[in-house]
Amino acid sequence: MIQQFLIYLINLNNNYSNYGADLDKTHDILIIILIAFAAVAILFLIIGLFYLIAILKRTNVVMKKVDYLMEDITYKSESLNVTVETLNKLSNYLLLFDSSSKNGIKALVKLFSENRNYFYSFADKLRENFDKKVSEGKDKIKKATPKAKEQVQKLKKVVEKKINTKKENVDKDKIDNNHKKGI
């Protein structure tokens, strides 16, 4: 389309040269048009650079969040009973996921199919840890022993005594205040 436009301008020169049109005017017009195209191309390049900077910043933020997540998982690995080796493998797989997301989904499918046993064993470990936590929670919810019930009853009696003595003191204070006022 641009090529046809430029050919049209050159043909204008040929058509009007018979009428005394100056060849320099056509060259000036062509130079102005090329400068305009260059300005538009530079403008698109600048806009593209701004978009590239924004994308790189977003990618940087996401990578920092993944890094913080991995640090958090590593820190809490003792409570999850997951080994550091497993976390290193997981971080390697995250890096592979990042690179494969750039290369396509086929790389991810290949990665998962080659290492599916590892992923399944990792999921089983997490499930076992979760089941242990749940079973420990159930073990903690037991009926109170007779000794504990006896201690609770003693505490209730002590609290009731304190409440009763406070009520008696308040009643005595009211009576004393009423006598002072002459009621």
| 52-97: pLDDT as tens digits | 998 888 888 888 888 888 777 777 665 555 566 677 777 777 777 6
- Residue 118, classed as helix, strand or coil, is helix
Averaged pLDDT for residues 157-162: 75
pLDDT for the residue 71: 79
Q: Look at residue 44 and tell me whether its pLDDT is greater than 90.
A: yes
DSSP for 42-106 reads HHHHHHHHHHHHHHHHHHHHHHHHHHHHHHHHHHTHHHHT--HHHHHHHHHHHHHHHHHHHH-HH
Averaged pLDDT for residues 160-168: 71
C-alpha–C-alpha distance, residues 166 and 13, integer Å = 113
Q: Look at residue 142 and tell me whether its pLDDT is greater than 60.
A: no
Place of tokens 């005017």: 25
CA angle 26, 29, 30 (to 5 degrees): 85
pLDDT for the residue 127: 80
pLDDT for the residue 50: 94
| pTM, rounded to two decimals | 0.29
**Domain range summary for the chain, segments of one domain joined by +:** 1-62, 76-142, 145-183
C-alpha–C-alpha distance, residues 66 and 76, integer Å = 15
**Mean per-residue pLDDT of the chain:** 73
